[in-house]
């Protein structure tokens, strides 16, 4: 076979680029809403409210669901968070049937505006980004902005014809089935929940942020269990036990921090939980990354390729973990800690 001397790298690059940039097919898991409906029928969505003495139990349940499936956990955490927010805002009577979500992201290119008010009835214009699960849920709590530039929480029904879902932009492979979409409002009706600014100022805002960390932890715990089972075999792979020891150190630290944070919230139900929750999220994120690395190095390619549960968790968890804002969150934590006196870390 002769070698072509004038090999056309430009044509190769063009062909490869078109293949590389092909859109990811939209993938919906029809079982997700069915499982959520089953959980609702059995009242398994009625978790203890945060700050009422059983915050740890609430987080343990979130962790258990996340260890099963992170796409399910995304819907479940959003739904249970919505129920807690409605209760805190004195609007539990708005719950009704259906699956709820909470969409409060505020990127600069997508803002939802309140253009009319009539008591608690409002009319919305604009856009809302990062609407996770919009193709699978029924109702959502959304942050919108009024003329005074105050974020107002509003409740919407996803079935209203004045709203348009734009799903083509979702290209995730991990967390593919939750499909965070863009939602456009065209004089869409909604109901104001609570008072302007209450969504951010209420104690439950930071308390709910701890629940996300519990989901991260639950998924990492499930991955770690595969390594623990592997090490129970008569002859585990070389260094697997060392990896398991590192995983244990990471998870024990994260678990202790979550338990301490939950206890603080229950002891200060009306307090500002920003500092303990930021600490917990930072600790759990670091531990989860360590678990992902050690479990993967110890077990090799086999579970990624032949175990559906392990493969889904491994693909979904890095995407789910990016609900953390990484160094931005660490910097915010650092600014708070810089004001502490010497000796703040003493045992």
**Same domain, yes or no, for 212 and 312?**
yes
- CATH, residue 143: 2.40.110.10
- Res. 3: pLDDT tops 80: no
**Same domain, yes or no, for 213 and 77?**
yes
**pLDDT value of residue 19:** 84
**Same domain, yes or no, for 134 and 106?**
yes
d(CA 100, CA 82): 6
- Which of the pair, 288 or 20, is modelled with greater confidence? 288
Residue 168 lies in a domain: yes
> How large is the average pLDDT for residues 80-103?
94
Maximum Cα interatomic distance, the chain, rounded to a whole number of Å: 80
- Res. 224: pLDDT tops 60: yes
Tell me how many domains the chain contains: 2
- Segment among 35-39, 72-76, 94-98, 139-143 with least mean pLDDT: 94-98
Residue 293 lies in a domain: yes
- Res. 7: pLDDT tops 70: no
Tens-digit pLDDT profile for residues 143-153: 999 887 889 99
- Res. 83: pLDDT tops 60: yes
Residues 6+ positions from 82 with CB-CB distance below 8 Å: 100, 101, 102, 139, 140, 141
Residue 315 lies in a domain: yes
**Same domain, yes or no, for 331 and 263?**
yes
Distances (CA, A) of 273 to 50, 68, 100, 257: 11, 28, 24, 13
> How large is the average pLDDT for residues 298-324?
96
Dihedral angle of Cα 194, 196, 202, 204, to the nearest 10 degrees: 60
- pTM for the complete prediction? 0.93
Residue 223 lies in a domain: yes
Last residue in a domain, options 174, 196, 218: 196
Distances (CA, A) of 278 to 143, 204, 255: 22, 14, 15
**pLDDT value of residue 286:** 97
Domain boundaries, position 307: 25-89+202-338
Last residue in a domain, options 196, 211, 245: 196
Last residue in a domain, options 196, 226, 255: 196
**pLDDT value of residue 2:** 56
- Res. 108: pLDDT tops 60: yes
**Same domain, yes or no, for 36 and 110?**
no
- Res. 287: pLDDT tops 80: yes
**Same domain, yes or no, for 280 and 306?**
yes
**pLDDT value of residue 172:** 87
Per-residue pLDDT band at 1 (split at 50, 70, 90):
low
Looking at residue 176, the DSSP 8-state letter turns out to be G
> How large is the average pLDDT for residues 259-266?
98
- CATH, residue 73: 1.20.140.10
Tens-digit pLDDT profile for residues 45-70: 999 999 999 999 999 999 999 999 99
270 is written with which tokens?
């009306």
Residue 15 lies in a domain: no
Residue 326 lies in a domain: yes
**pLDDT value of residue 22:** 84
**Same domain, yes or no, for 163 and 206?**
no
Tens-digit pLDDT profile for residues 155-190: 999 999 999 999 878 888 899 988 889 999 999 999
**pLDDT value of residue 20:** 83
**Same domain, yes or no, for 80 and 217?**
yes
**Same domain, yes or no, for 59 and 104?**
no
**Same domain, yes or no, for 240 and 151?**
no
- Segment among 20-34, 119-133, 272-286 with least mean pLDDT: 20-34
**Same domain, yes or no, for 332 and 217?**
yes
**Same domain, yes or no, for 232 and 331?**
yes
Residue 5 lies in a domain: no
Residue 83 lies in a domain: yes
Tens-digit pLDDT profile for residues 289-308: 999 999 999 999 999 999 99
């Amino acid at each position: 076979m002769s070698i072509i001397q004038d090999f056309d790298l430009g044509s190769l690059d063009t062909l490869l680029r078109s293949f590389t940039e092909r859109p990811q097919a939209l993938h919906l898991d029809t079982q997700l809403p069915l499982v959520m409906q089953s959980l609702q029928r059995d009242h398994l969505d009625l978790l203890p409210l945060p700050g009422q003495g059983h915050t740890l139990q609430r987080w343990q349940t979130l962790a258990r669901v996340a260890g099963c499936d992170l796409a399910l956990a995304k819907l479940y955490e959003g739904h249970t968070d919505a129920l807690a927010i409605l209760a805190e805002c004195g609007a539990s009577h708005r719950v009704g049937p259906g699956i709820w979500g909470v969409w409060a992201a505020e990127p600069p290119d997508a803002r939802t505006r309140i253009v009319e008010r009539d008591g608690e009835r409002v009319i919305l214009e604009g856009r809302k980004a990062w609407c996770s699960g919009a193709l699978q849920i029924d109702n959502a709590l959304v942050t919108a902005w009024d003329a005074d530039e105050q974020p107002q929480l509003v409740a919407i029904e996803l079935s209203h014809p004045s709203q348009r879902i734009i799903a083509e932009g979702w290209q995730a492979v991990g967390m593919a089935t939750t499909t965070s979409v863009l939602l456009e409002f065209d004089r869409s009706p909604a109901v104001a929940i609570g008072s302007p600014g209450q969504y951010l100022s209420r104690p439950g805002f930071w308390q709910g942020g701890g629940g996300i960390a519990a989901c991260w932890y639950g998924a990492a715990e499930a991955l770690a269990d595969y390594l623990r089972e592997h090490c129970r075999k008569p002859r585990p792979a070389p260094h697997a036990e060392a990896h398991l020891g590192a995983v244990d150190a990471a998870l024990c630290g994260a678990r202790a921090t979550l338990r301490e944070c939950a206890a603080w919230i229950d002891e200060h139900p009306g307090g500002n939980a920003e500092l303990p929750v930021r600490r917990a999220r930072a600790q759990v994120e670091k531990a989860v990354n360590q678990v992902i690395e050690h479990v993967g190095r110890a077990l090799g390619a086999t579970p990624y390729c032949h175990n559906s549960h392990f493969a889904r968790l491994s693909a979904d968890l890095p995407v789910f973990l990016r609900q953390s804002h990484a160094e931005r969150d660490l910097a915010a934590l650092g600014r708070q800690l810089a004001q502490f006196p010497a000796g703040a870390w003493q045992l």
